Structure formats: structure tokens, C-alpha cells
């Protein structure tokens, strides 16, 4: 008894594999996170993120031109704020002359058609390293949302196409949406980090921006009262659905690889584009293993990105975007 149905027929050679391939990566899939710092001519490598850099505005200009030339069309901006500008309310976040606001203009001047998304959360601006205002050992929800709304308006006014709230306060999407409408920024979109888990994979990112929660009495040591418990699944759907109802144009699951079950479930449930953030710790793991010669960097990278797309990602925020596009040829 030999099988009549042989699945291997569809794997016989590269041509047939190409013909029946269900998932294909393209440069259009990627959103490129960029870290911006003050200074001139700065391009400093982040120790826990080999081959990834903090860029001053002039270096940012060069970088986005290069990205655009490679066929990448969207960036997600983060800024590293000097310690002396940090406070509990993240006042620097709404400075119209602040680094983020200047970075947005720099990208738009260099590449007018590049889509600019901006991170909206207090942590890089917070003296306590939290995404919201800290009071009596807690993170204030509604007061924080108000600042996030002001921050969003200032990003929109500087030219951001989308704001990306990554803070996980309740109701902030509605507060931000209403504020943008009131100020006439009706075309500014919101990409909500809707299912964002309290993950240990954000470590290298916090090194990059010097934004980890500080170890001071009466300041929470972690973000577990606002970011989601990695154990939970239904909650991800609830969070995502609520953000859509509040006005999110794009939703996100974060981190990526450990949460692909959530990605698939969210993709099946909602009708808006789903973004996935392959976070700094995921990047660092592969870099470290490849450096030791234990994994084939390029092959594993492409397999991971493909798996994220296959799981249901319409957009992948990834530090591998340039490397991947180079390989895609």
C-alpha cells in the first residue's frame, strides 16, 4: 500500500514551492523603529542591540533617506531624553521644540512620503521610568491619558501621520482621538498598542532609551499594573476590541514570537490592520546566538519574520527590517 496523495509533490523544486507559497514577505510589511538622540553626527551602537543605533537628527536624516531608497515606507520614532529634562509628568513630551517634534520634521523634510509614526508614552520622559504619572506607588490612569492626548496633538502638529500609544492606560485611545478631532487633526491615525504584555523581552529597549523603571521607594518596580499578564488570552481580545471601539485605526500585539497565538486570534476577531512588534529582546537573542555561531542569523531571521506574518501580522515592527529587505533583494 503506497500513498496516492503525496504532499511532497508540491515541494519537489523551488519553482513549485514558489507557486504554492502562501506567505511572502515584502518591504511593505515592515515598520522601522528608530531611536533618536540629541547631538550632531551621533550614530552610537546600543550595546544590547548589536548593529542597531541611536541617531542624532542629522544621522536620522541620512538613515531615513537610505530606508526610503531601499523601499521601506514607514518609521516608528522613539527618543532618548536627557535626565535633566525628565520629570514625573513627562513635561518634555509636550515641548513643541522637543526632540520628538524635531525628529518628526526632520523625517518629513528628508522624505515627505515616508509614513511617520510616533511612540506616545511617558517612559522616556519620566524621571521614574514609567509610562504614566506616579503617585503613592501607583500609576495614575486618567491624568496620564490627558498628557498623552496633548503629546499626540503636538506630534500631529509637527507632522506625524500616526501616533502610537504604547502605555496601556484605560480609555486613552478615546481621549487621544477626541483631542485630535478637537484640534482639527482628523487625518492623524492611531496605531494602538492594544495587547501589550508586561514582558521581560523589553530589556534592551530600556537600555537604548535609558527608560527602565527606577529603583526608588514607592515607585513600582515593574509595569504589571498596566501592561498585560503574559498568562492571559481573552483579555487580549477585550483590550483590542475596546481600542477599536475607541477609535484605533491599527491595533498591535507585542511582543511577537512568544505571542503568535494571540496574533492569530486577534487577526481572526477584528477587521482593522494588525501590527506585531518583534521587540528588542527578540532581536538581541538572535544576535547573541548568531554571534556564537549557534544559529544561522539570516535564515532564522527570515523564518521568524515569515512566522509573524503567517500568524496574521499585516505590519511588522522590527529591528531586522533593513537586513530583511536586503535579503529579499
Q: What residues are annotated to the active site?
A: 196, 254
Residues marked as binding? 239
Q: How far apart are CA 111 and CA 106, in angstroms?
A: 8
- The smaller minimum CB distance to ligand PBG, of residues 271 and 318, is found at 318
- The smaller minimum CB distance to ligand PBG, of residues 164 and 311, is found at 164
Q: How far apart are CA 201 and CA 281, in angstroms?
A: 4
- The CA-to-CA distance between both ends of the chain, in Å, stands at 45
Binding mask 34-73 for ligand PBG (x = CB under 6 A): ----------------------------------------
For residue 255, say if its preceding peptide bond is cis, omega within 30 degrees of 0. Answer: yes
Q: How far is the CB of 4 from ligand PBG (least distance, A)?
A: 49
Q: How far is the CB of 255 from ligand PBG (least distance, A)?
A: 7
Compute how many residues bind ligand PBG; rule: CB under 6 A: 12
- 316, 253 in Cβ contact below 8 A? no
Binding mask 134-173 for ligand PBG (x = CB under 6 A): --------------------------------xx------
Phi and psi torsions of 137, nearest 5°: 75, 10
Q: How far is the CB of 52 from ligand PBG (least distance, A)?
A: 10
Q: Buried b / exposed e across 279-288, counting CB within 10 Å, b at 16+?
A: bbbbbbbbbe
Is 121 an interacting residue with respect to ligand PBG (CB under 6 A)?
Answer: yes
Interacting positions 198-217 with ligand PBG (CB under 6 A): 202, 205-206
Is 125 an interacting residue with respect to ligand PBG (CB under 6 A)?
Answer: no
Which residue bears the cell 508540491? 10
- The smaller minimum CB distance to ligand PBG, of residues 92 and 123, is found at 123
Q: How far is the CB of 223 from ligand PBG (least distance, A)?
A: 6
Out of 81, 236, 275, 279, the only residue in the binding site for ligand PBG (CB under 6 A) is 279
- 133, 122 in Cβ contact below 8 A? yes
Which residue bears the cell 502605555? 167
Q: How far apart are CA 206 and CA 280, in angstroms?
A: 9
- 45, 51 in Cβ contact below 8 A? yes
Binding mask 229-268 for ligand PBG (x = CB under 6 A): ----------------------------------------
Name the pairing type of β-strands 49-55 and 43-46: antiparallel
Q: How far is the CB of 77 from ligand PBG (least distance, A)?
A: 11
Out of 29, 63, 92, 123, the only residue in the binding site for ligand PBG (CB under 6 A) is 123
Rg (CA), the chain: 20
- All three cell numbers of 319, joined, read 529591528
CA 208 from centre of chain: 14
Q: How far is the CB of 163 from ligand PBG (least distance, A)?
A: 13
- All three cell numbers of 290, joined, read 548568531
Question: Between 280-291 and 297-311, two packed helices, what is the crossing angle to 10 degrees?
Answer: 150
Is 119 an interacting residue with respect to ligand PBG (CB under 6 A)?
Answer: yes
Which residue bears the cell 550614530? 43
Out of 63, 131, 239, 243, the only residue in the binding site for ligand PBG (CB under 6 A) is 131
Binding residues for ligand PBG (CB under 6 A): 119, 121, 123, 131, 166-167, 202, 205-206, 223, 279-280
Amino acid at each position: 500500500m503506497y500513498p496516492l496523495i503525496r504532499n511532497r509533490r508540491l515541494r519537489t523544486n523551488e519553482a513549485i514551492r514558489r507557486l504554492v507559497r502562501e506567505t511572502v514577505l515584502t518591504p511593505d510589511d515592515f515598520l522601522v523603529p528608530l531611536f533618536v538622540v540629541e547631538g550632531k553626527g551621533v550614530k552610537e551602537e546600543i550595546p544590547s542591540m548589536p548593529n542597531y543605533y541611536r541617531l542624532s537628527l542629522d544621522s536620522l536624516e541620512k538613515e531615513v533617506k537610505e530606508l526610503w531608497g531601499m523601499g521601506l515606507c514607514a518609521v516608528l520614532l522613539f527618543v532618548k531624553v536627557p535626565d535633566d529634562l525628565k520629570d514625573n509628568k513627562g513635561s518634555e513630551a509636550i515641548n513643541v521644540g522637543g526632540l520628538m517634534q524635531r525628529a518628526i520634521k526632520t523625517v518629513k523634510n528628508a522624505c515627505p512620503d515616508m509614513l511617520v509614526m510616533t511612540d506616545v508614552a511617558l517612559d522616556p520622559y519620566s524621571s521614574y521610568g514609567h509610562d504614566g504619572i506616579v503617585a503613592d506607588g501607583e500609576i495614575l490612569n486618567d491624568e496620564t491619558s490627558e498628557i498623552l492626548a496633548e503629546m499626540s496633538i503636538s506630534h500631529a502638529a509637527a507632522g506625524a501621520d500616526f501616533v502610537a500609544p504604547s502605555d496601556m492606560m484605560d480609555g486613552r485611545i478615546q481621549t487621544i482621538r477626541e483631542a485630535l478631532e478637537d484640534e482639527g487633526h482628523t487625518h492623524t491615525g492611531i496605531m494602538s498598542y492594544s495587547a501589550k504584555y508586561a514582558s521581560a523581552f523589553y530589556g534592551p529597549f530600556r537600555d537604548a532609551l535609558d527608560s527602565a523603571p527606577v529603583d526608588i521607594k514607592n515607585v513600582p518596580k515593574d509595569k504589571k499594573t498596566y501592561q498585560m499578564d503574559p498568562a492571559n488570552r481573552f483579555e487580549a481580545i477585550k483590550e483590542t476590541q475596546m481600542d477599536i471601539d475607541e477609535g484605533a485605526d491599527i491595533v498591535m500585539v507585542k511582543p511577537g514570537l512568544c505571542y503568535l497565538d494571540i496574533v492569530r486570534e486577534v487577526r481572526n476577531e477584528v477587521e482593522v490592520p494588525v501590527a506585531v512588534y518583534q521587540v528588542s529582546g527578540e532581536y538581541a537573542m538572535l544576535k547573541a546566538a548568531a554571534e556564537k555561531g549557534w544559529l544561522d542569523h539570516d535564515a532564522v531571521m527570515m523564518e521568524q519574520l515569515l512566522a509573524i506574518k503567517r500568524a496574521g501580522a499585516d505590519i511588522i515592527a522590527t529591528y531586522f527590517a533593513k537586513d530583511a529587505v536586503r535579503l529579499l533583494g
